Structure 1
């Protein structure tokens, strides 16, 4: 369990950045939901409540040596798969925005794929470490195939919901963790080649009409300005109109008049861009960059490879969320239901990210042996 002597390695710097990001998010949510919540700020209260729960969960995660989680990897993996299977059952999983991705817990909606990200990062890191410890070659076709199956199973279940944005994040996590584990470049090149062949087939035969529409609108939002292109057009108008200093909180035209869809969740960055301007938008991005660089440093000083792989997985998770979310708000990525970590409204996302931070701090605190 947690020992006070570990506090000397506690990364206060990371906590400060997280608190700043969450605070910016709460401020943006207060403006984004004010008009819809008739001034009662209930969304803000819920977000603060989830942040408190997140801090508690983070404390619990920190208190247990991360190697203990690794020892339960098999059970955790099975639990994660059961969650993804359960949400697909009609009457159990709830459909929102065209995807059966949610559990209705009565007090709140819960998206199991968010928690499964953490589960898969831990189990995949343990799987890689085990192969390395057995002095097996990770590039041996059998080892690599089993590793890929490890991650492909949850990815296929998430695509079944369908939630292509979250599936893309899982793929990014897998690729980055394998890359750090010294996968051969020939496999990387083969994967790119296979993707080039598979993506057109997926587009024509594996996607539903609305999913194909999103990609087509990504190339040209004006082909459907009042339909699937509406989100991107309104988002770009909002961010562009904010200019350098923004229009001020509660004064954004697109935000306050309700032209910006999903403005407290998927398009929260658009609210920041419109009402707080380019300066604060840049501050948010810089804070994320500093946070991710800090994570990479902690990965390099981790006591063992298992801890390093965990941090790399979490870094990848946050990076791809950041890349996809901000990219879609400025028209550089297709519109998907990917939240902006620590900033978008949503209990599942915030709680998961706080647990992820707890794991990073956990590895960082135990990077040196403690002398008693």
Structure 2
């Protein structure tokens, strides 16, 4: 077989790529149904974006380790400046000021900061002597690196993205070996200050999302409408679903955002539990592959970078699925590779491209990710 298939194709991580491609195609079918059978509305751009960003990921996989280490701090700095520019010259959409027009592209810098925070912290801890890891000199700079972009993102306001950046950074700190008691102390402090922050720092619509999460039935036609309709759609799908194109919640416009935040609900109504298990199974395979790439890495920088990128994709999946099932407040996190939207696709493909790159480093050094 090796004499038939070109080596450049044979050495690709097909254990991850094949399930991923199937998921993207499945997502295109769900988006086609969400658009009432109009393929050009959502599905075509979904597939084009995947093709573009898959090419980007393939190019990323060719980068060398020294180059990636070199660009860590400059990339973080540039994206931080873009976040600052959003506050000065950015434009608003949907009630939030998150985008900046660069002429050739309209960019949401906060999405780029999700992988960038992982990269810069991986570089920081890779350069730090092991003896300094359990000291305050490893904690304070990392908190500053996380805190600056999170503060700018919260000003937009965008709580979901702020949490995503924080989560990716904290995972890298944990994997770097910071003492467990620090995380427990931080969790305790967050629990104590959460009520104060809830009533003083959050916007009214953000507080309403929490109230809705706690009791969605209290206002089923108002603040609880989104999650109520989502759970109806998921529950009505049963084992095998109502069939492709037969979802009443999305087609009769009961389900809000059926092509973005609530695309899983759209899918579950038409494909049922079987479709849901397929989606979960693909994410399991992709995340398992990524984690094994991290375990196979032979240096601290590669391990932290890979582990952080896995955490970034996991955050998207876990929060979106919890959100649409009523297990978490609605925070506007799309489902990777299924929801319609370029920003989410870009971020997650950067994460996978980074993992493909580290997998190539592992192969070059004689270490292979388990498959």
TM-score category of the 2 structures, normalised to the smaller one: over 0.9
Deviations 1:254-306 (A, max 9, x none): 01011111111100000111111111111101211121111111101113111
Query: What is the aligned partner in structure 2 of residue 238 from structure 1?
Result: 233
Matched, 1:345 2:344: no
Of the structure 1 ranges 312-321 and 221-230, higher mean CA displacement relative to structure 2 is found in 221-230
Matched, 1:14 2:9: no
Of the structure 1 ranges 43-52 and 94-103, higher mean CA displacement relative to structure 2 is found in 94-103
Q: Secondary structure at the match of 1:127?
A: helix
Q: Give yes or no for contact 2:111–2:344 (8 Å, CA) kept in 1.
A: yes
Query: What is the aligned partner in structure 2 of residue 82 from structure 1?
Result: 81
Deviations 1:321-344 (A, max 9, x none): 111101010100000110111111
Q: Give yes or no for contact 2:54–2:349 (8 Å, CA) kept in 1.
A: yes
Quote the Cα distance in structure 2 between the aligned partners of 1:124 and 1:6: 32
Q: Using structure 2 for the length normalisation, give the TM-score.
A: 0.92
Give 1:109 deviation, angstroms.
5.0
Distance change in 2, residues 1:285/1:99 (3 Å): same
- Select which of 100, 105, 119 maps to 1:103: 100
Q: Give yes or no for contact 2:312–2:351 (8 Å, CA) kept in 1.
A: no
Distance change in 2, residues 1:110/1:31 (3 Å): farther
Quote the Cα distance in structure 2 between the aligned partners of 1:104 and 1:331: 35
Give 1:120 deviation, angstroms.
1.5
Of the structure 1 ranges 229-238 and 47-56, higher mean CA displacement relative to structure 2 is found in 47-56
Quote the Cα distance in structure 2 between the aligned partners of 1:257 and 1:240: 17
Quote the Cα distance in structure 2 between the aligned partners of 1:175 and 1:112: 20
Deviations 1:8-28 (A, max 9, x none): 753221111211121121111
Query: What is the aligned partner in structure 2 of residue 166 from structure 1?
Result: 161
Quote the Cα distance in structure 2 between the aligned partners of 1:271 and 1:360: 30
Quote the Cα distance in structure 2 between the aligned partners of 1:124 and 1:370: 23
Deviations 1:79-126 (A, max 9, x none): 11012112223xx42323322112356887542221221222111111
Quote the Cα distance in structure 2 between the aligned partners of 1:184 and 1:339: 33
Distance change in 2, residues 1:368/1:63 (3 Å): closer
- Select which of 291, 301, 305 maps to 1:306: 301
Q: Which has the higher contact order (CA 8 A, sep 6+)?
A: 1
Quote the Cα distance in structure 1 between the aligned partners of 2:65 and 2:216: 45
Query: What is the aligned partner in structure 2 of residue 62 from structure 1?
Result: 61
Deviations 1:110-165 (A, max 9, x none): 4222122122211111111111xx34421211221111111111111111111111
Matched, 1:121 2:118: yes
- Select which of 270, 275, 285 maps to 2:270: 275
Give 1:41 deviation, angstroms.
2.4
Of the structure 1 ranges 233-242 and 190-199, higher mean CA displacement relative to structure 2 is found in 190-199
Query: What is the aligned partner in structure 2 of residue 48 from structure 1?
Result: 47
- Select which of 259, 273, 294 maps to 2:289: 294
Quote the Cα distance in structure 2 between the aligned partners of 1:195 and 1:215: 16
Q: Give yes or no for contact 2:234–2:268 (8 Å, CA) kept in 1.
A: yes
Query: What is the aligned partner in structure 2 of residue 366 from structure 1?
Result: 361
Q: What's the RMSD between the two structures over aligned residues? A: 2.0
- Select which of 123, 147, 155 maps to 1:152: 147
Report the count of equivalent residues: 361
Q: Secondary structure at the match of 1:334?
A: coil
